[in-house]
Each structure stands twice: as C-alpha cells, then as structure tokens.
C-alpha cells in the first residue's frame, strides 16, 4: 500500500504533488481553499487564497495570497509536475463572513464575498473546470481533499463534515 | 510607510510596550466594572506580525473561540481583537447577563448583544487611554463578534489586516480573571505602519514627518 502524503496548506500557500496526497486547508474564514486534480496524470494541488487581487502598488511576496496571482501559479506548478491543463478538475470552498454579530464599519464583512467572486472569475478566465463550490455564509470551513479518491470534504462547526464532490467523478 | 519592528529604537519599543499595557489596563478596568471581577494580564509582547500562530495561542485550531473584532480609525488606523475560548466566553456571559449558551448554535440575541457591548466597553477603555496618552483622535468603531473555530477567526482577522497598508507589529497578551474563575482571553492590537508612526509621534518619542 502506498503511503499517503499529507499536506497542510497554510494561508497564502500553494502545494502541488503527484501520487496519493491528502490536502488540508484549516480554518478558511474569509479565505478560499481550492483543490485541483488531473485524474489522468495523478498530479494534484491546492491553494489557500487570502485576498481577491494583488495590490497594484506593492510587490507580490507570495503569489498564493491572491486569487489573481495564485490560481495561474497553481496551474503552472501542476503543469510542471506533469498535469495537463485541460484535464484539471477543481472545487473550492470558503469565503465566509465569520463575524455573525454586529455591524462593524462598511466593507469589513465584504472580503469573503470578494474572494469567492474573484476565485470564480479567475478560474473561469483560466478555463479551469470547476465542478463544485461551497462559499459564503457565516461559518468558517476546513476542507480536506484526497487525491486518490478525489473526494473533497467540507467541515464546519455547525454542520460537521459533508462530502462536497469527487474530483475523480465529475 | 511600512514600519518594521527591527527599525524601532529601544525607546520606541518601550513606548509601544507602555502604551499597550496602559490601554489594556484601562480596557480591563472597564470590563471589571460590568462583571464585578478583577482582571489581570501578562506583560504584553510586541512582535512582528505573524498571525499564523494566533490559533495556537488561543487554543487548538478546531477549538471554538468567541472573537470581538474592531477596526481602529481616526489619526491612527489598525485592528483590535479580543478572543475568548468558548468556556471563558460562557463564564463571561454568565457574569454579564446571568445565563450562557450551551453551544455555539444556541447563542440568543441577548448573549450576542452582551458580547457586542463587552466589545464596546473594552474598545472604549483602550481607545480613551491611547487618546489621552498621545493627544490623538482615535475612533472606536462598532465591534463585530464571531463564534467559530480559532483558525477561521484568525484567517478572517489576518485578511482584514492584509487589506490595509502594511501592518507593522502586533501587541498581544493573555488576560485572565484574578479570582481564577475560569476566564482567560487573548488580546491583539495591530496598528498599521502609518498608525504606529502617528502613535510614536504622539508619545513624543519620534519627530513628526
């Protein structure tokens, strides 16, 4: 039996692997976790996006921080590892407004929604085949994806674990 | 402007330390008045911002945490947060409103507004102390409250801090009730680079630009 690789994808990180791998994105508040898999080559990857787009006046320290720089980088790294772009299947979750109570100042609660919109838009522009997403609401999420089964699971404190999709059976 | 902790002189670092301690003491005094309990704190640490460690400080990543978050506005901008592990928040609710929710899904309106009000009180105490020390106009903004796992809350706060201008440093410490009645919490104040400069100028440890 092949030993499964375990990867925890922290904030702003991109991880790519070939062979059976279990990805975990812990505590996606307003962040988005996107998992991708080319079922033919077995190359998989995940990204933990923090913000919708890079700031025009600041250098990008970590491409994975932003949707507009991170998603192309994820695809690039997967291709370098042997994935075929047109075969890649993806799903994502997160983008919550975790502060359930109070009004705050205008805009404070927007980040999750903006992240979800940005990931949707960039994924579409890049032609990524997104088969499922679970975004919005007021609960933070943790996601797991096993590349050998393709199963992607979303966990929240209110609803527990649920299977979002299988990236091997779109 | 982007301040970094390594760029601060010893005098400036000491001033930031003193400011955080005094602000937090005022905030905790206000909290004592509504709960009837005295609160203490560990000496605040001032560090370069690395919020990835935040969940581990308040407890295991999947531990439920109640967070009060406020942005700081006015002459100084930044972020202020108080985080309480679930059992501490329950004890706090019990002291403030006489009952507490048994799980995060059953937080009623009274408990939600009590936690928001606790945020207002902590916020005002901290801001007033800072304003008095620096003669700066520092606004308290309406608080937000989240009840979620520690990682999700840390992620949401980190996203907020990354949206503003470069974050300089975090002042953080643990707070606890002196009667050892089961309340502990974690405090975080993150001024922006410009906000820190304004504070240091207001404290007379730095010339204005």
| Disruptive mutation site among A9, A61, A102, A104 for chain B (greatest number of B CBs within 10 Å) | A102
Helix (H) or strand (E) holding B184: strand B184-191
Confidence of residue A53 (pLDDT cuts 50, 70, 90): very high
Q: What is the average pLDDT score of chain B?
A: 81
Q: What is the pLDDT of residue B58?
A: 62
- CB spacing of B155 vs A65 below 8 angstroms: no
Instruction: Find the angle CA(B82)-CA(B87)-CA(B92) to the nearest 5 degrees.
Output: 60
- For the four alpha carbons of A77, A82, A85 and A89, in that order, the dihedral sign comes to negative
Mean pLDDT along residues A105-128? 88
What does pTM read for this prediction? Answer: 0.87
Q: List pLDDT tens digits, range B123-160.
A: 888 888 888 888 888 887 889 999 999 889 888 888 88
Q: Rounded distance, CA B158 to CA B167, Å?
A: 10
Among chain B residues, the shortest Cα distance to A143 is held by B152
Confidence of residue B13 (pLDDT cuts 50, 70, 90): confident
Q: Rounded distance, CA B184 to CA B80, Å?
A: 17
3-state secondary structure chain A: CCCCEEEECCCCCEEEEECCEEEEEEEECCCEEEEEEECCCCEEEEEEECECCCCCCCCCCCHHHEHHHHHHHHHHHHHHCCCCHHHCEEEEEECCCCCCECCCCCCHHHHHHHHHHHHHHHHHHCCCEEEEEEECCCCCEEEEEECCCCEEEEEECCCEEEEEEECCCC
Q: Is A51 on the interface with B (CB under 8 A)?
A: yes
Does residue A44 surpass a pLDDT of 90?
A: yes
- For the four alpha carbons of B97, B98, B104 and B110, in that order, the dihedral sign comes to negative
Q: List pLDDT tens digits, range B79-122.
A: 888 888 899 899 889 888 889 999 998 999 899 999 999 888 88
| Disruptive mutation site among B78, B115, B159, B167 for chain A (greatest number of A CBs within 10 Å) | B159
Inter-chain contacts counted by CB atoms under 8 A, chains A and B? 115
Share of chain B above pLDDT 70, in %: 84
Q: Output the six-digit token pair for A28.
A: 């996606």
Confidence of residue A146 (pLDDT cuts 50, 70, 90): very high
Does residue A1 surpass a pLDDT of 60?
A: no
Q: What is the pLDDT of residue A6?
A: 93
Instruction: Find the angle CA(A69)-CA(A71)-CA(A73) to the nearest 5 degrees.
Output: 70
Confidence of residue B1 (pLDDT cuts 50, 70, 90): very low
Q: List pLDDT tens digits, range B38-77.
A: 888 887 777 765 666 666 666 676 789 999 998 888 888 8
Which residue among A31, A98, A141 sits closest to B146, beta carbon to beta carbon?
A98
Q: What is the pLDDT of residue B2?
A: 43
Q: Is B145 on the interface with A (CB under 8 A)?
A: yes
Share of chain A above pLDDT 90, in %: 77
Q: What is the pLDDT of residue B50?
A: 60
Q: Rounded distance, CA B118 to CA B81, Å?
A: 12
| Closest listed residue to residue A120, CA positions, set A111, A108, A130, A106 | A130
- CB spacing of A27 vs B73 below 8 angstroms: no
Contact B138, B178 (CB under 8 A): no
A19–chain B nearest CA distance, Å: 28
């Amino acid at each position: 039996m092949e030993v499964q690789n375990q990867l925890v994808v922290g904030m702003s990180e991109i991880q790519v692997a070939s062979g059976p791998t279990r990805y975990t994105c812990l505590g996606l508040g307003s962040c988005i976790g996107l998992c991708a898999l080319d079922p033919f080559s077995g190359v998989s990857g995940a990204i933990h996006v923090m913000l919708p787009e890079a700031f025009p006046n600041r250098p990008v320290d970590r491409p994975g921080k932003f949707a507009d720089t991170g998603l192309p980088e994820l695809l690039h790294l997967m291709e370098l590892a042997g994935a075929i772009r047109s075969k890649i299947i993806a799903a994502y979750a997160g983008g919550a407004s975790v502060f359930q109570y109070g009004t705050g100042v205008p805009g404070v609660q927007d980040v999750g929604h903006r992240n979800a919109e940005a990931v949707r838009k960039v994924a579409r522009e890049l032609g990524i085949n997104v088969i499922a997403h679970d975004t919005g609401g007021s609960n933070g999420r943790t996601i797991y994806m096993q590349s050998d089964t393709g199963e992607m699971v979303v966990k929240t404190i209110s609803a527990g674990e649920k299977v979002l999709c299988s990236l091997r059976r779109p | 402007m982007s301040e970094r902790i390594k760029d601060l002189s010893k005098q400036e670092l000491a001033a930031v330390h003193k400011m955080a301690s005094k602000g937090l003491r005022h905030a905790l005094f206000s909290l004592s008045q509504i709960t009837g309990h005295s609160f203490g704190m560990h000496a605040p640490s001032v560090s370069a911002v690395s919020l990835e460690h935040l969940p581990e400080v308040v407890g295991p990543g999947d531990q439920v945490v109640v967070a009060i978050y406020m942005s700081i506005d006015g002459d100084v901008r930044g972020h202020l947060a108080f985080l309480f592990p679930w059992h501490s928040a329950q004890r706090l609710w019990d002291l403030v409103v006489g009952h507490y929710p048994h799980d995060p899904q059953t937080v009623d309106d009274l408990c939600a507004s009590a936690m928001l009000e606790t945020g207002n009180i902590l916020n005002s105490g901290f801001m007033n102390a800072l304003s008095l020390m620096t003669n700066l106009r520092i606004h308290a903004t309406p608080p937000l409250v989240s009840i979620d796992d520690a990682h999700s809350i840390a992620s949401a706060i980190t996203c907020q801090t990354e949206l503003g201008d470069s974050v300089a440093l975090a002042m953080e410490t643990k707070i606890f009730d002196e009667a050892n009645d089961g309340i502990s919490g974690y405090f975080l104040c993150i001024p922006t680079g410009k906000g820190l400069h304004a504070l240091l100028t207001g404290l007379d440890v730095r010339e204005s630009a």
